[in-house]
Chains A and B, each alone.
Chain A
C-alpha cells in the first residue's frame, strides 16, 4: 500500500456504551423531551378553541397524564442508571462522574484548555466520557434529583400510591407547594441548556476526533487509534495506572 500520508490510522473498535446504557440514554432523552414539552404546556396551556362540550374534552388531563407517565419512566430509568454505575463497565462506572483523584482534575483542566480555550497542545484522548463531561454529568444527575424531588413532592398530595407519598416532606421543607413549583420550573431550563450544549459537543468531538462519537450511542462502540490503544495511560480518568 503506497501512501504519501504517514498518519493513516489503524482504528481499533472499543465497546464503550453497553446496551443497557444505550437504552438508558435514549429512554432518558425521550422522557426529557416529553417532560419539557408537556411541562411547558402545563405551566402555560395553549388557548385551544373547540366546539365540543367541556365534558368531551380532556386536553390538560391528557397532557398531565403524559407528564406523569414520562416522569415515572424518567425516575425509574434514573434509579437504574445509578445501579448500573456500580455494575456496568468502566465507562459507566460512578467514578467517571465523581472526581476521586488528582488525575481527574488534571484531565478536566486539560480538556478546558484544549476544547474550550482552544489552546494549542496535545489533543486529549478520552475513550468514555472525558473528565470535564463526566463532571458535568454529575451535575445533571443532581438536576435529575432536584426534578424528582420537586416533581414527586408536588405530585404526592394528589397520589394514593405510597411511592409519591414518600416525597410528601419536600413541600414541607419549603413551606408549601409554590416554591417547589418555581424550583421545578427553573430547573427545567437546565435540561434545555444541557441538551443544546450536549448535542453540539457530540458533533464537535465527532468532527475533530473522527472516532465515531455520534454513532457510539447507537452501536455502542467508538474507534481509537492503534497507538492510543497501545498506550496504557489513556484509559479512564479515575482508573489506577497499574491496572492492566
Chain B
C-alpha cells in the first residue's frame, strides 16, 4: 500500500481531520489512543501520526450480507469521534449500503468505479455471512447474489476484513440447522488474506485499530492461527476479567438475584463463557470504556467464538452437544450409563454364581481341603 500507487488527488487523513475542524491536539489524542489499542509501544506514535499525515485515504468497499448491521453500529460508536468522522464517514467508504447517500444504479456504479480505479489497492470489508443455500437467493442485492458480489469485489481487493461473527464464522444464521447455508467469508475467498474480526459485534476500537494498523504499516496485522489479529484476540476474556479473583477464590454467583450477584462475584456458574472466549472486552471494554457484559452483571456469551449458539446454553456451563437431545448433558448421560453399567455388573455377578457354580465350588473345596490338611 505505497503512496504513489494511489492517485495523489486524494486528501490525506490529516487533511481531512483539519478540514473537519479538529485541532492538532485532538488528532494526536486519537493517534495515541490508536497506538495503544493496536498494541504498539509509545515510540510508535510518531509512525502512526506520520502515516495518517501522509497516507491518502484508503479506499474501502464495505459490503453487507446476512447480518444485522451491529458491526457498523459498533464502529460508528467507537470512543473517539475521529474514528467515525474520519475513518468511516469522511474518508474511507466508497460503497456501503447502510451509510452511503447514493442508491440504485448510482451506488452500484460507485462500487464499480472504486473497484476499477483502485484495482488491487482497496480494502474489502464484509459484514455478514453469505447464504449458499438455494443458489444464494436468500440475500440478493441489485439482482446479484451475495456470492457473486463477494467474488467480484474480492478479486481485486488488497485485503479482506471479515467484520463480526457473521463474516468470520457464520454467527447465528449458521446455527443448526443453518437453513440458508450461511457461510463465513474465509471459506469462499481463496488466495487473499482475510482478517477475521469476530464478535457480535466486535468492539468499535478493535475495528478502528485494524484499519489504523493497515494504514500505518501498509500490511495486515499479525494474525493468530484462526486468522484473528493477535493484538486483540490472544487473551481469554477470563484472563483479563476483573472478577477473576473471585473465580480463583471459589466465590460464585449462584443465581442472578442472590447476594453473591450483588457482591459482584464471578459469573462462572451462571454460564459465563469467558474461560473459552478470546476477545479484548475485559481490557478495552465498550462504549468509551464504560463497561462490558461481565461488569454489568451478565455472563459472557462467547459471541466472538465459532458456533457459540450451538455450543451449549447461554446460562449454563456447557457440557452438551447440539442435537444430542435438549436435556442431555454429559453428566446426565454419564449417570444413566453408570446406572446401566452397575445393573449389568450386578446381573453378571449373579449369573457368574449360577453358571460357574461348579468351577467356584471346585476352587472352594480345593482350598478347604488344604485348610483341613494343615496341622495348625
B-binding residues in A (CB < 8 A): 1, 3, 5, 7-9, 43-48, 54-55, 57-61, 63, 116, 118, 120, 123, 157-158, 168-169, 172, 175-179, 181-182, 185-186, 188-189, 192-193, 196-197, 200, 204, 207-208, 210
A5 to B373, CA, bound (A): 12
A59 to B169, CA, bound (A): 36
Residues of B within 8 A of A179 (CB): 307, 311
A116 to B349, CA, bound (A): 11
Q: In the complex, are the beta carbons of B276 and A59 less than 8 A apart?
A: no
Any A CB within 8 A of the CB of B318: yes
Query: What are 15 pairs between A and B in contact, CB < 8 Å?
Result: A1-B373, A8-B366, A8-B370, A45-B250, A58-B249, A116-B348, A176-B305, A177-B275, A178-B312, A186-B321, A186-B334, A188-B330, A196-B342, A196-B345, A204-B348
Residues of B within 8 A of A61 (CB): 248-250
A176 to B308, CA, bound (A): 9
Residues of B within 8 A of A168 (CB): 225
Residues of A within 8 A of B277 (CB): 177
Scoring B residues 312 to 325 as 1 if CB is less than 8 Å from chain A, else 0, what string do you get? 10000111110000
Q: In the complex, are the beta carbons of A123 and B330 less than 8 A apart?
A: no
Q: In the complex, are the beta carbons of B250 and A60 less than 8 A apart?
A: yes
Any A CB within 8 A of the CB of B251: yes
Most chain B CB neighbours (cut-off 10 Å) among A7, A58, A172, A182:
A182
Q: In the complex, are the beta carbons of A175 and B338 less than 8 A apart?
A: no
Chain B residue at smallest Cβ distance from A9: B366
Residues A45 and B334 in contact in the complex (CB < 8 Å), given A168-B225, A178-B276: no
Residues of B within 8 A of A8 (CB): 366, 369-370
Q: In the complex, are the beta carbons of B276 and A60 less than 8 A apart?
A: no
A41 to B236, CA, bound (A): 21
A58 to B137, CA, bound (A): 55
A208 to B269, CA, bound (A): 48
Q: In the complex, are the beta carbons of B360 and A208 less than 8 A apart?
A: yes
Nearest chain A CB to B259's CB is how many angstroms away? 10
Nearest chain A CB to B371's CB is how many angstroms away? 12
Scoring B residues 333 to 376 as 1 if CB is less than 8 Å from chain A, else 0, what string do you get? 11001100110010011011001100110110111011001000
Residues of A within 8 A of B305 (CB): 175-178
Q: In the complex, are the beta carbons of B319 and A123 less than 8 A apart?
A: no
Any A CB within 8 A of the CB of B273: yes
Interface residues on B, range: 35 or more
Q: In the complex, are the beta carbons of B363 and A210 less than 8 A apart?
A: yes
Nearest chain A CB to B344's CB is how many angstroms away? 9
Interface of B is mostly: helix
Residues A182 and B312 in contact in the complex (CB < 8 Å), given A177-B305, A189-B334: yes
Q: Which of B248, B269, B330, B362 contacts A182 (CB 8 A)?
A: B330
Nearest chain A CB to B310's CB is how many angstroms away? 9
Residues of B within 8 A of A47 (CB): 252, 254
Residues of B within 8 A of A48 (CB): 250
Residues of A within 8 A of B362 (CB): 7
Q: In the complex, are the beta carbons of A182 and B319 less than 8 A apart?
A: yes
Residues of B within 8 A of A54 (CB): 245-246, 249, 251
Nearest chain B CB to A228's CB is how many angstroms away? 15
Chain A residue at smallest Cβ distance from B308: A178
A22 to B226, CA, bound (A): 43
Nearest chain A CB to B17's CB is how many angstroms away? 38
A58 to B249, CA, bound (A): 4
Any A CB within 8 A of the CB of B202: no
Residues A186 and B319 in contact in the complex (CB < 8 Å), given A44-B269, A45-B269, A204-B352: yes
Chain A residue at smallest Cβ distance from B354: A118
Q: In the complex, are the beta carbons of B352 and A208 less than 8 A apart?
A: yes
Q: Which of B276, B307, B341, B356 contacts A193 (CB 8 A)?
A: B341
